[in-house]
Chains A and B, each alone.
Chain A
Amino acid sequence: MPMNDHIVRSFDEDLDSLKAKIAQMGGLVEAQCESAVRAVHRRDQALAQKVRDADSRIDALEAEIEAMSLRLLALRQPLGGDLRTVVASLKIVSDLERIGDYAANIGKRAIVLSGLPEIPPANGIVRIGGLVKSLIKDVLDAYADDDLELAVAAWHRDEDIDELYTSLFRELLTYMMEDPRNITASTHLLFIAKNLERMGDHATNIAETVHFQIKGKKMEADRPKGDDASYVVEMPE
C-alpha cells in the first residue's frame, strides 16, 4: 500500500515496531520448524530438546505482540488499512504460535523416535518439512513486504504439502502392516507428518490474512484441499 506517513509520527513507530516483532517471531518459528525436522532426521536428542525449550520464547512473543496490538487499538483507534494491519497482526501471531506448538511437539516425538529402530519413511518427513518451511518463509516475506502475489502463490502451494502428506500416510500404513514392530515409530512419524501438514494450513491462514490486510477482503476461491488421508483405507490382505 503506497501510503504517506501519519501526521502523528509515533503512530508509525508503533506500527513499525509491531511489524518488526512479528518478523522476529516469524523468524523464530521458521527456525523451530527447520530444527524440529532436522532433529527427527538426524535422531538428534539435544537439538530436539532445544526445540522444546525454545517454544516458551514464541509464547512470550505472542503475548507481547497481543499486548502491543491491544494498546494500538485502545490508544490509536486505527481505521481503514491501519485497522486491518492490527487485526491481521493478532491473527498472524496466533497462527505462528500454533505452528510453534507443532514444532515443539515434533521435538518431543523426535526424542522418542531416536530411541526406536530407524525406519525409511523418515526421509519423507524431511521432504514435507522442506516444503512447509519454505511456505512459512514465503508467507512471512509476503507479510513483511506487503507482497500480494507472493502470498497468493504460497497459498496455492499448500496443496503439494497435503498431497505429500497423503502419500506418506499410505507409506507408513504399509510399514505398519509389514511388521508390527514398526508401529510405534510409524505412529510417531505419522503424527509428525500430520503436525507438518497442520503447520502448512496455518501458513496458508497467514497468506489469507496478508491478502485481507492488503485488499480489505477475503480470498475468493476456497482453500485448496489436497489432503485425502482421511479417505485412504488400506485393507489387510
Chain B
Amino acid sequence: MSKTSGSSASGTTPKMKGDKVKVFYGEKQALQDVDLEIKPNEVTALIGPSGCGKSTFLRCLNRMNDVIDICRVEGKITLDNEDIYSSDLDPVQLRARVGMVFQKPNPFPKSIYDNIAYGPRIHGTASSKAEIDEIVETSLTKAGLWEEVKDRLMEPGTGLSGGQQQRLCIARAIAVNPEVILMDEPCSALDPIATAKIEELIDELRENFTIVIVTHSMQQAARVSQRTAFFHLGELVEVGDTEQIFTNPTDSRTQGYITGRFG
C-alpha cells in the first residue's frame, strides 16, 4: 500500500487532520485507520466507489455521525489542532465552524431571506435587522445568487430551481461564517449548467474557506480540487495532488478506479 501523503509536503499547517480514524456501524467497520490532512484554502476531493467510506469520513469532520446511534468513531480528528471529539467541545458550535452542504438541496420551508437569517439568529452572531440584512446580502452574493433573488427575498426558498436551491444552501452554510465547508455530492441532483455554476462557486469560496467535497464524478474532482483522496473498502488508498492522481496514480487500485476498470 502506498500513501503519497500522510504528512503535508509543503509544510502548511493542516486545517483539519484525521489521525488513525476508525468508524464502526455496530459490528461493521466502515473506516480503517484513515490518516488524512485537509489543507487550508484548498479543495480536497474524496473519491471512491459506493460504500468505500468517503461520506463516512466526511461526516466525521463535523460529527454528523453522532446522530447515528450505532455509529462509533475512534482515532483523532482535529480542527486547528483542537480535538473535535473532545468532551468540552460543543457539536453545535463545531457545526457552525464546519458547515455542510448535502446531495439534495434542502432549503428550509421558509423564505429565501429566512433561510439565510436562520443560522446567524440561532447562533446569536447577529441580532439587529440591519446586521442580518447585511449577512443575507453578502452570503447570497458570495454564493452567486444575489442578483437572481434580490427582488424576491420573501418568496419561499423551495420555489427556486434545483441549482438555485443548492446555491441557497451554500449561502445558508456560509452565513454563519464557517471555516470549513463539507459538501456531500453537491451537484449530483443538478443539470450541467447548474453544476458548472456550483463548481465556479467552489473555486471562488476556496479563497475564504477550506472545502472538502465528496463526489462520484471524477471529472468534477479533477476540475474543482487541488488534492484528491481515493478511498476503497474503508481504506484511504492514496492521496495526492489532483493532477498526479488523475494522470499518474501510484496505487494500482486508484488507477483501476479512475480509468473505469474496477473489478
Residues of A bordering B, CB below 8 Å: 2-8, 11, 77-84, 216-217
A4 to B258, CA, bound (A): 12
- CB–CB B256/A4 < 8 A: yes
- CB–CB B256/A83 < 8 A: no
- CB–CB A84/B247 < 8 A: yes
Q: Given A79-B218, A81-B255 in contact, is the A5-B261 Cβ separation under 8 Å?
A: yes
- CB–CB B263/A216 < 8 A: no
Closest 7 CB pairs of A and B: A216-B248, A79-B258, A4-B261, A82-B259, A80-B259, A80-B255, A80-B258
**Contact for A80 among B219, B249, B262, B263, CB less than 8 A:** B249
Q: Kindly identify, within residues 10 to 27 of chain B, every residue whose CB is under 8 Å from any CB belonging to chain A.
A: none
A216 to B258, CA, bound (A): 15
A169 to B249, CA, bound (A): 46
Chain B 242-263 per-residue mask, 1 if CB under 8 angstroms from chain A, else 0 = 0000111100101110111111
Chain B residues with Cβ below 8 Å from A6 are: 259-261
State the total of A-B contacts with C-beta under 8 angstroms. Answer: 46
Residue tally, chain B, CB below 8 Å to A = 17
Chain A residues with Cβ below 8 Å from B262 are: 4, 7
Q: Which secondary structure characterizes the binding site on chain A?
A: loop
CB distance from B27 to the nearest CB of A (A): 31
- CB–CB B259/A216 < 8 A: no
Chain B residues with Cβ below 8 Å from A83 are: 246-247
CB distance from B158 to the nearest CB of A (A): 34
A84 to B243, CA, bound (A): 13
A83 to B256, CA, bound (A): 13
A2, A6, A80, A81: residue with the most chain B Cβ atoms closer than 10 Å: A80
A193 to B246, CA, bound (A): 42
A99 to B260, CA, bound (A): 35
CB distance from A144 to the nearest CB of B (A): 20
- Apart from A79-B258, A80-B247, A83-B247: 19 A-B pairs, beta carbons within 8 A: A2-B252, A3-B261, A4-B256, A4-B263, A5-B263, A6-B259, A6-B260, A7-B260, A7-B261, A77-B219, A79-B222, A79-B246, A79-B247, A80-B246, A80-B248, A80-B249, A82-B259, A84-B247, A84-B248
